[in-house]
Structure 1
Amino acid sequence: MTATVTVIGGGYAGITVAKALDDVADVTLVEPRDTFVHNVAALRAVTDPVWVERLFIPYEGLLTRGRIRHDRAVRMFGSAVELGSGDRVTSDFVVLATGSRHTYPAKLDVDDSVDARAKLWATHEALSRAPRVLLLGAGPVGLEFAGEIKAAWPDKHVTVVDPAPELMPGGFPAEFRAEVHAQLAALGVELLLGTALTAPPPTAPGHTAPFTTTTSAGAELSADIWFACYGAAPNIGYLVPGRRLDVTPELRLPGSDTIFALGDITSVPEMKMARAAQRHAEVAAANIRALIDGQTNLTAYEPAHDAIVLPLGPHGGVSYAPEAGVLGPEATVGIKGGLFLDAYLDLLGAEAAR
């Protein structure tokens, strides 16, 4: 009999593992959204509406034998998954790949693609009317968003605030941070590190309305719109709310031979990024294929060293990997200028939106 696999979550890890197993198993992918959302391009879609349509890619071309169920997991009972519809799904293997939540617009917070498109357009219009922009958080999201805003509207004043004393803490060399600082300065981005706001802004995020706020250093900041660019959290409320899942080297839940967990929901010690989630998926798919074939010698996942490709607008950015060192804007644009759209169109069996 054909082995059955249920994949919970249709993000980067979920689509990769489902596609990889479609030829050897009866795969069901459970995902509440009506289309795949290419979150890597979400910030550019806010500043450049050409990307709004490109962001949403149909699932229909992903699987040849398997199926997509537009539903969500609400709880698990061993290897059985209860869905929001009330159905309970059981299978030989379960892959948990529900990713993470983040503040909008880094990740969209509505499931329906029509509503999501409308929200992106509304945010673009609100941002276009705001001469002064405040971004809270100087991690990859805040810095990338600052670069996208300045590329689209060079005359806007963009301020980025973060309580951390330096940019991008972690395994990045000083040369990387120096290049990020230099490019932000050339764009005219104001960077305030080692300080925070004494209270949240008085307006809702993403809405245009002038306001003034104060930092813990005593400085007054005036802006017309603001966005929170921090707050990633694992989307794992159906199992263990609020914390990431420990996994074995083979990416299985401890004590289980048939339940795998991938991507942002795991406690694997590495940066939570789409490419890492897809590497998890490749290892998990290889291990499930081996188990289906009756093998016991499985592949162990090796956590990746800190590395990043950080766009700062369509024509700028900084990259770093231990094997390549620090790369400037030309190389970064060469790597990520198209935001990897073609790769996901190919994976999902879709054509580029026109």
Structure 2
Amino acid sequence: MPTDKQRIVVVGGGGAGSLLARSLSSKIDITKQSLTLVTARPFNVYLPGQCRTTVSDQGSLEKKTLFPYDRLFHNGKGTIRIATAKAIERNASTVGGAVVLEGGESIGYDVLVLAPGSVWEGPLAYPNDPEGVESHLSIWRTNFAESTHIVLAGGGAVGIEFAGEIKDIWPHKKVTIVHGNSALLNDTYPAKYRALLERQLLARGVEILYNDFVEEIPLPGPASITTRRGMQFDDALIVPTRGGRPNTDFIRSCLPNLLNDTGQIRVRPTLQTLDYPDIFAIGDCTDWNEQKQIGKYYSHVSVCAANVIGYLRQVKTMKVYKGSYEMIVITNGQNGGASYFGILWGFIFGNWVSKVLKSKHLLIGLSRRNVGL
């Protein structure tokens, strides 16, 4: 049906997309604009809670860490569309276009915001349908419980946090991290902080194999593998903890000029894409040179929401995203962890501060409130 309203479409209902949709719903004039959130799942997977959620059923955390969209929009000023975006079509002679959904239906837009997030492996690769969630959790929880040796393929934040959660429940279970670097995490973080994380893991009996890689990940269940450098693991559960990759394949098929070589969306400081001022991008999918973390989303949303409204109003001056200092809190179970704040000369904190900031509660309550729950 034809409409005179300016159409805002957000693709991706994860951490960044849901925060942006909520923010925009507080800013739009529903007599002049419409807002649609296109998301493949009827729930938002709160990623910082998933290492604990998928390892065991203690606390039934899936009831708290899979956020419904019931109360996302302020005063109901928005529409949720549960569907998978398959392509973007541009109008031939004007700005705007349409998002093509799986099945062929199109949703027109005057402004499009891309927040598709990342594609994950293993326990973090939740199915889109609610019926599949119970089976997914059951498979992984059973495998974590029954395995005598767990190999975590990746020593970034995900691998470290999985190791801590496993050791909380099964202190004597054998856990090995295989990491391709010579220290945990990456070179963004100072050696002192990375060494603290290592000491905390070793103190809990976690073994760490550096400068090596798990090339292929078998299906969940006991398996035997050989690493790139020849280390063999037999009858072990191999868990991919290597982080996600940009969920942008649907963009490459239609607007490949939006992406860099690694699949990230190229953006200006206004968070508009390089070639299309009516297409914005936020979250982990952007090519901004920073560590990809939920903490960055709030700054992305502040800039993007203001600029979307500004673009529709044809303002001349847009807000600029300047990045932020690096900070991270990595849990080591419910009572431990290590924190780094990259301001001034850098501050590092250990178990007590990390427990208060994140480890005990995983910021679940705050994050639920931020999406209206």
Instruction: Flag whether TM exceeds 0.5 (same fold).
Output: yes
- Output the CA distance in 1 between the equivalents of 2:79 and 2:275: 28
- Quote how far apart the aligned CAs of 1:124 are: 0.6
Summarize deviations over 1:41-60 as a string: whole Å, max 9, x none. 11111223121222222101
Letter in 2 for 1:348: V
2:13 alignment partner in structure 1: 10
Does the CA-based 8 Å contact 2:183-2:195 persist in structure 1?
Answer: no
1:29 alignment partner in structure 2: 37
- 1:325-344 correspondence to structure 2 within 5 Å: 325-337=347-359, 338-344=361-367
Which secondary structure state, in structure 2, belongs to the residue aligned with residue 45 of structure 1? helix
Summarize deviations over 1:233-262 as a string: whole Å, max 9, x none. 111112126611111110011132211011
Which secondary structure state, in structure 2, belongs to the residue aligned with residue 172 of structure 1? coil
Which secondary structure state, in structure 2, belongs to the residue aligned with residue 77 of structure 1? strand
- Output the CA distance in 2 between the equivalents of 1:121 and 1:39: 18
Identity, in percent, stands at 28
Which secondary structure state, in structure 2, belongs to the residue aligned with residue 292 of structure 1? helix
1:40 alignment partner in structure 2: 48
Summarize deviations over 1:95-137 as a string: whole Å, max 9, x none. 00000101121x2341012311321122111210111111111
Does the CA-based 8 Å contact 1:170-1:306 persist in structure 2?
Answer: no
- Output the CA distance in 1 between the equivalents of 2:331 and 2:66: 21
- 1:64-143 correspondence to structure 2 within 5 Å: 64-78=76-90, 79-105=97-123, 107-143=124-160
Pick from 300, 305, 316: which aligns with 1:296?
316
| TM-score, normalising length: structure 1 | 0.91
2:180 alignment partner in structure 1: 163
Structure 2, unpaired ranges of 5+: 91-96, 254-261
Structure scoring higher RCO (CA < 8 A, sep ≥ 6) equals 1
Summarize deviations over 1:35-88 as a string: whole Å, max 9, x none. 121122111112231212222221011012111000121111123211113221
- Quote how far apart the aligned CAs of 1:272 are: 1.1
4+ long deviations beyond 6 Å? none
Structure 1, unpaired ranges of 5+: none
Does the CA-based 8 Å contact 1:253-1:261 persist in structure 2?
Answer: yes
Q: Alignment length, in residue pairs?
A: 344
C-alpha distance 256-157 of structure 1, shift in aligned 2 (>3 A):
same
Pick from 258, 264, 268: which aligns with 1:244?
264
Q: Which is worse superposed, 160-169 or 220-229?
A: 220-229
- Quote how far apart the aligned CAs of 1:345 are: 1.7
Which secondary structure state, in structure 1, belongs to the residue aligned with residue 132 of structure 2? helix
